[in-house]
Structure 1
Amino acid sequence: MAKVAFLGLGVMGYPMAGHLQAAGHDVTVYNRTAAKAEAWAKEHGGSHAATPREAAQGADFVMTCVGNDDDLRSVCTGKDGAFAGMEEGAILVDHTTVSAKVTRDLAAIAAGGGIGYVDAPISGGQAGAENGQLSVMCGGDQATYDKAAPVIDAYAKICRRMGDVGAGQITKMCNQIAIAGLVQGLSESLHFAQASGLDGEKVVEVISQGAAGSWQMVNRHKTMLADEYEHGFAVDWMRKDLNICLTTADEIGASLPVTALVDQFYKDVQKMGGGRWDTSSLLKRLKDV
């Protein structure tokens, strides 16, 4: 069992840290809103700290799960950042979806202090975090990954090393690119079924058993048909991720025409006031066009 610091207690981080504590690790948490860290410690029996540096002191592993590039830099660097509290030989595992650039920049800073670094973005949504069934895609050297993987297993359905530092983030971009097209296709299918006078539930029952079936179809069609979008991964966060994908595509010379189009559709959803709606709200956009 390891001494672990967990920084960031959002809808994903809160249950993930709980799984670590339940697995027998000694967990100290930090959250920008201190009341949430205090509530977590009361619920799970771990400890909470006032700063990332304080949480990271003496930790074998520091897990981060925050919002974006700037948030990650903030909790890692500076006099109160995690790096300032970590000892040589400790490992930082970042579960935030961020750019490969900030990942490589922070990994270089960590290496200068003898700290290991694994970028380990996650997929599976809030339900996956709560049930300990996340897909974790990792980047880092093999030896560092091998040390971190048994700790990550506390909340992982699958955990794989995809390559050197940054490879985890690139893999997460592949994940978001695939989801964008899938959700738009599912939205159009359900919209077409309803416009044709068909029972959308019956349509999904049939087509989900064939080549059209997907996780999105199985897990999101009921709420989509009910016009309910107050759950899951928010449109605002999806646009943040897709911006990373599109920026990286320009850098590496990849073409993402469908992703760019769906990103604009999500922009429409934001204009409708749906920035906090689930990503499946692309269907609502079609209904309101």
Structure 2
Amino acid sequence: MRRVAFLGLGNMGIGMARRLLAAGHGVAVYNRSPGRAAPLVQQGATAAATPREAAAGAEIVFSMVGDDAASRHMWLGRDGALAARTAPRAFAVECSTISHRWIAALAARARGQGLRFVDCPVTGLPDAAAAGRLTLFLGADKADADALAPVFAAIATEVIHFGPVGAGNAYKLIVNLMGSIQIAALAEGLVTAERAGLDLGQVVQALSKGGSASPQVVRNAPLMLRGRHAEDVVFSGKWRLKDTAYGLAHARAMGVASTMGAGAAAAFRLLVADGTQHQNESKLVDAVRARDSRQR
């Protein structure tokens, strides 16, 4: 069993940390809102006051947070995990969906501290995290990926090793940008169907069986139809816009204009403009309705 630090106990991180505890690892946890750690402490975790304290003596340090700024908070500074005295040749595992520029900078900083760095974004919703059914997109040296495989087995049913550090992050940004485009297209399609006088319940049912039935469409179409976007928020418009912006920046850095990605980003910015970015990403359908009503 390994000594693990887990930084970030949001909807995804808390389930992942709990799975590591259940697998018998010694887990120290840190979250900026300390109350989130209480259920894990009851199950045997150790609560830390800072990321540095959590990472002290750790063999593996996981981070699972919302964006670049939160990742920097976890790793950098006097109280950051990179300031800790970890176990020799410890692993730094960044599971957050962050920008490609920051993943490269973070990898360089971690390696400069003698850590083995792995970029490890995940796919799956909070229920998958709680059940240990995530898919991991790995960017790592093969030897490091192999060494971590027994630990990853506690949190994931599939690990896809895309290549060296940065490759997992690159794939995650690509696939999330594609997901944003699909959700934006779905919202516009449903509003168009509504204007055409079609029964939206029938449209949603048909979409779930048709050629456009991507997982994003299948998941979000019933939510858009139901319309209760503030209930049971799983993935908010705020985080969808963040992922879209990071994916768009990466595409452009690769020399790809991504006009469809830019359109999706513009659509999700509507949620920020109307103050509903903390609701489910499915709220986009209402923002599209409002936008197009103003233009009529």
TM range (shorter): over 0.9
Q: TM-score of the superposition, structure 1-length normalised?
A: 0.93
Q: TM-score of the superposition, structure 2-length normalised?
A: 0.91
Counterpart of 1:107 in structure 2 is 107
Structure 2 letter corresponding to 1:130: A
Counterpart of 2:74 in structure 1 is 75
**Per-residue deviation, residues 233-282 of structure 1 (Å, max 9, x unmatched):** 11112222222222222322112001111111111121111111222222
Which runs of 5 or more residues in structure 1 are unaligned? none
RMSD over equivalenced CA pairs, Å: 1.7
Counterpart of 2:294 in structure 1 is none
Matched position secondary structure for 1:80: coil
Counterpart of 2:265 in structure 1 is 263
Aligned-partner Cα distance in 1 for 2:262–2:236: 18
**Is residue 122–residue 136 contact of structure 1 (8 Å, CA) maintained in 2?**
yes
Residue 114 (structure 1) shift: 2.1
Aligned-partner Cα distance in 2 for 1:219–1:131: 19
Matched position secondary structure for 1:154: coil
For residues 207-286 of structure 1, the aligned pairs below 5 Å read 207-230=207-230, 231-286=233-288
Matched position secondary structure for 2:69: helix
Residue 194 (structure 1) shift: 2.8
**Is residue 99–residue 246 contact of structure 2 (8 Å, CA) maintained in 1?**
yes
Matched position secondary structure for 2:197: coil
Identity level (%): 36
Structure 1 letter corresponding to 2:64: C
Aligned-partner Cα distance in 1 for 2:179–2:224: 15
Structure 2 letter corresponding to 1:219: R
**Is residue 65–residue 95 contact of structure 1 (8 Å, CA) maintained in 2?**
yes
Counterpart of 1:195 in structure 2 is 195
Residue 144 (structure 1) shift: 1.1
Residue 97 (structure 1) shift: 1.1
Counterpart of 1:61 in structure 2 is 60
**Is residue 204–residue 217 contact of structure 1 (8 Å, CA) maintained in 2?**
no
Aligned-partner Cα distance in 2 for 1:256–1:103: 21
Q: Which moved more, 1:257-266 or 1:213-222?
A: 213-222
**Is residue 16–residue 129 contact of structure 2 (8 Å, CA) maintained in 1?**
yes
Matched position secondary structure for 1:127: helix
**Is residue 267–residue 288 contact of structure 2 (8 Å, CA) maintained in 1?**
no
Aligned-partner Cα distance in 1 for 2:34–2:207: 47
Counterpart of 2:158 in structure 1 is 158
Aligned-partner Cα distance in 1 for 2:67–2:80: 16
Q: Which moved more, 1:51-60 or 1:240-249?
A: 240-249
Structure 1 letter corresponding to 2:189: S
Matched position secondary structure for 2:252: helix
**Per-residue deviation, residues 127-185 of structure 1 (Å, max 9, x unmatched):** 33233222211111111111223212222232111111111111111111110111122
Aligned-partner Cα distance in 2 for 1:250–1:198: 38
Aligned-partner Cα distance in 2 for 1:35–1:224: 33
Aligned-partner Cα distance in 1 for 2:131–2:182: 24
Corresponding residue pairs, total: 288
Matched position secondary structure for 2:27: strand
